[in-house]
Chain A
Amino acid sequence: MKRRWINFTSVFFTAVTGFACLLLTAMVALILGNIVRHGIGHISWAFLSQAPHSGMTEGGIFPAIFGTAVLVLLMTVAVVPLGVSTAIYLQEYAPKNSRWIHVVRLAIQNLAGVPAIVFGLFGLGFFIQFVGQGLDTVFFNGKLYFGQPAILWAALTLALLTLPTVVVSTEEALRVVPPSHREVAYSLGATRWQMVRHVLLPQAVGGILTGTILAVSRGAGEVAPILFTGAAYYLPHLPTRLNHQFMELGYHVYVMATQSPDVDATLPILYATVLVLLVLTFGLNFTAIIIRSKIRRRLRGR
C-alpha cells in the first residue's frame, strides 16, 4: 500500500515538472505564432524598402532597418576588440586565481546585470554631456556637434552593455584550446603574443564569432539604452554621419505601440515591424547556436 502511494507521488510530481516544460513551450509557440500570423501578411518588398509616410499608417520601415544595421555595426566595431582582448587577458596573461582576475570577472558579471535603462542614463550623462560636449568645447568652439543624441553615442552605450557577452563567449573558446598547443608553440620559441596570435586566435575564431552574433542580437533588441542617446521616431533622412540621430526597429515598435493616434490603422504595420525585428534577432541567434554546436562537435570528435 505504502509502495503504491510512493509511486503515485513520484509519477505525479514528475508529471508536474513535465507540465511546466509543456506550458513554457506552449507560451513561446503562442507568442511567436500570434506575431507570425498577424505580421506576415503585411510584409512585402515595398514594406522593407520604403520609408513610412502618412503618419506611419502607410509605407515601410526601411529607415528603421537601416538605422538598426548601422547601429549594431558601430557597436560591433567597438565591442569586439575590447571583449576579445579582455578575454585573452583573463585566460592567458593574468596570473591564475589571483585576486585581480577575480575582481575583473566579478565586474564583468555585474556589468551584465546592470539594468538597460541605467545604461541609457549613463550614455546621456557620460557620452553626450561629458565626452560629446567636451569635444564640442575643445574642437568646435562650443558649437553643437557631438554634444547631442547621436548614433555614435547610442552604439558605444550598447557596446558597454554587450561587452560581457563577447568576453564570456571568447573565454570559453580560448579555454577549450588544449594546453599542449600552447606548449608546442612555446617550445618552438614563440613569444607569448606570437602564440596567442598564431595558435589561440585562429582556433577561437568560432567562439569569437558566436559571441559577436549574440551581442549583435542583444544590441538590436534593446530599446531602453537608446531612448535618450540617439533614437528618433521619424527622420526624413538616413543617418550618414556619426553625430546623426537614427530610426531603429525596437524603438519604432515602442512608439507605434504606445503613442499612435490611431492604433487600429497602424496595427498591421506594427505587427509586421515586430516580425521583422524577431526574424532578425532569431536569425542571428540561430546562426550563433549552429556555429557553437559545430565547434563543440569538432572538439568532441578529436
Chain B
Amino acid sequence: MNRPPLRERIIENGIRVSAGVAIVGLILIFVFIGKEALPLFTSAEARQEASLSKLFIAQVPEEGEPPSHMWQPVSEMPKYSLWPLMIGTLKVTLVALVFAFPLALGAALFTSEFAPPWLREIVKPVIEMLAGIPSVVLGFFALIVMASTIQDLFGLDYRLNTVNAGIALGLAVIPIVFTVAEDALTAVPQSYRHGSIALGATPWQTARRVVLPAAFPGLFAAGILGFGRAIGETMIVLMASGNQAIPAWNLGYGFRSLSATVASELGEVVRGSPHYHVLFLIGVLLFIFTFLINLLGQMWVGRMNRKLTGRR
C-alpha cells in the first residue's frame, strides 16, 4: 500500500496525539494541584504553621485547654484541623445518599421492570431534566426556598442545617445513580425474566429474585459513583451548608465541607501562605479520593458486563 500524502499523515498524527489529552489532563491536574500543596511537606515555614500533624491530630489551642480540632485559618494563631471539614463532608454525603438511593433505585427498578413503555418515556426525560438543573440552581433552591420548610418539618434549631443541604445534594446524586442502575437492570437479558415468569413468578418476584441479583454489580457501581459525585459537589454545599466548621455529627447543625472551604476561601487567601497550600492540599485529597472511587465504580461496571456476557 502507498504511503498517504503528507497532509494526511500530519492530520492522522494530530488525531493520535489528541487522544492523549485526557490522560495528560489528568496528570497535569494532579501535578499542578500537588505542586501548590507540596510546601506543606518541604518548606519549614509552612510546616511550622500547618504540618500534617496539625492538620490531622487534635491541637491544644491555648495553655490549659483540652486539645481540640479547629478550622480557623484566619486568626492570630491559625488552626488548620481538617477534621471538622471531613466530618461535614461525610455527614452531608450520608444524608444525601440515604435520601437518594431508595428513590433512584426504586425509580430505576420501576422504569426497567414494571412501567409500560409510554410511562418509561415520561420518567426518563424527568430524570434527564433533574440532571440538567445546574448545581448552583439546586443550591439556590435549597438556600432560598427549601430551608425554612425543612427546618419547620424536622423542628431544627438552625435554618441552614445538614438535612436541608443533604436533600439538595441528594437531588444532584439521583440522576447518576438512576442512570447507572437503570443501565444495569436493562442489561439483564430478557430470557432471564421470561424463564422466571414461565415458572409462575410474579413480576415483583422476578425483579427481586432474578433481575436484582443478576444486576447487583451494576447497582453497586451506581452506589459508588453516586458517592463519588456527592463527595466532590461544591455549589450546593457551599450555598446551603451554613458554613459552620464544627466537628459535630449532629444533623441539626450547619457544617462545612472540604469542597466548600476551597470555594469560599481561595479567593481571599494570600498566594504562597500556609493557608493557600492547605487549600490546594484539600484539592489533592478530593482529587485522589474521587479518582479511586471512580476506578472502583468502573471496575464494578466492568464486572457486570463480564458477568452478563459470560466472558471472564
Contacts and interface: CB of A to CB of B under 8 A. Distances in A.
Contact of A28 (B35, B105, B110, B126): B126
B128 A285 contact: yes
A21 B107 contact: yes
Interface in B194-246: 202-205, 208, 225, 228-229, 231-235, 238-239
A114 interface: yes
Interface in B256-284: 259, 262-263, 266-267, 279-280, 283
Q: Which 5 A-B pairs have the closest CB atoms?
A: A115-B232, A221-B134, A20-B106, A10-B204, A17-B110
A85 B15 contact: yes
A77 interface: no
A45 interface: no
Contacts of B23: 103-104, 107
B139 A90 contact: no
B127 A24 contact: yes
Contact of A253 (B113, B137, B202, B283): B137
A43 interface: no
Label chain A's interface by main secondary structure. helix
A190 B23 CA distance: 31
Contacts of A86: 18-19, 21-22
Contacts of A108: 22
Contacts of A75: none
B151 interface: no
A121 B33 CA distance: 7
Residue of B19, B122, B174, B238 contacting most chain A CB atoms (<10 Å): B19
Contact of A31 (B16, B127, B133, B286): B133
A88 B266 contact: no
A34 B145 contact: yes
Interface string A218-257: 0011111001100000000000000000000011011001
B contact residues, range = 35 or more
A122 B123 contact: no
5 contacts: A18-B115, A31-B171, A103-B23, A110-B298, A224-B259
A283 to B, nearest CB: 10
Given A224-B235, A250-B134, A24 B290 contact: no
B186 interface: no
Interface stretch (B24-32, B49-57, B74-82): B24-32
A278 interface: yes
A contact residues, range = 35 or more
A221 B110 contact: no
B298 A278 contact: no
Contacts of A289: 125, 128
Interface of B: 4, 8, 11-12, 14-16, 18-23, 25-26, 28-29, 32-33, 35-36, 102-107, 109-111, 113-115, 119, 122-123, 125-130, 132-141, 143-145, 171, 174, 202-205, 208, 225, 228-229, 231-235, 238-239, 259, 262-263, 266-267, 279-280, 283, 286-287, 290-291, 293-295, 297-298
Given A10-B202, A20-B110, A285-B128, A126 B32 contact: yes
Contact of A24 (B33, B103, B137, B263): B103
Contact of B18 (A85, A115, A116): A85
Given A17-B107, A126-B32, A28 B130 contact: yes
A49 to B, nearest CB: 23
Interface of A: 6-7, 9-11, 13-14, 16-21, 23-25, 27-28, 31-32, 34-35, 81-82, 85-86, 88-90, 93-94, 103-104, 106-111, 113-122, 124-126, 130, 160, 163-164, 167, 191-194, 217, 220-224, 227-228, 250-251, 253-254, 257-258, 267, 270, 274, 277-278, 281-282, 285, 289
Nearest to A125: B32
Given A16-B106, A94-B19, A121-B279, 19 more contacts: A7-B202, A18-B110, A24-B126, A25-B126, A27-B130, A86-B18, A108-B22, A111-B22, A118-B232, A118-B287, A121-B36, A122-B29, A163-B25, A192-B12, A193-B12, A221-B137, A228-B267, A267-B144, A270-B144
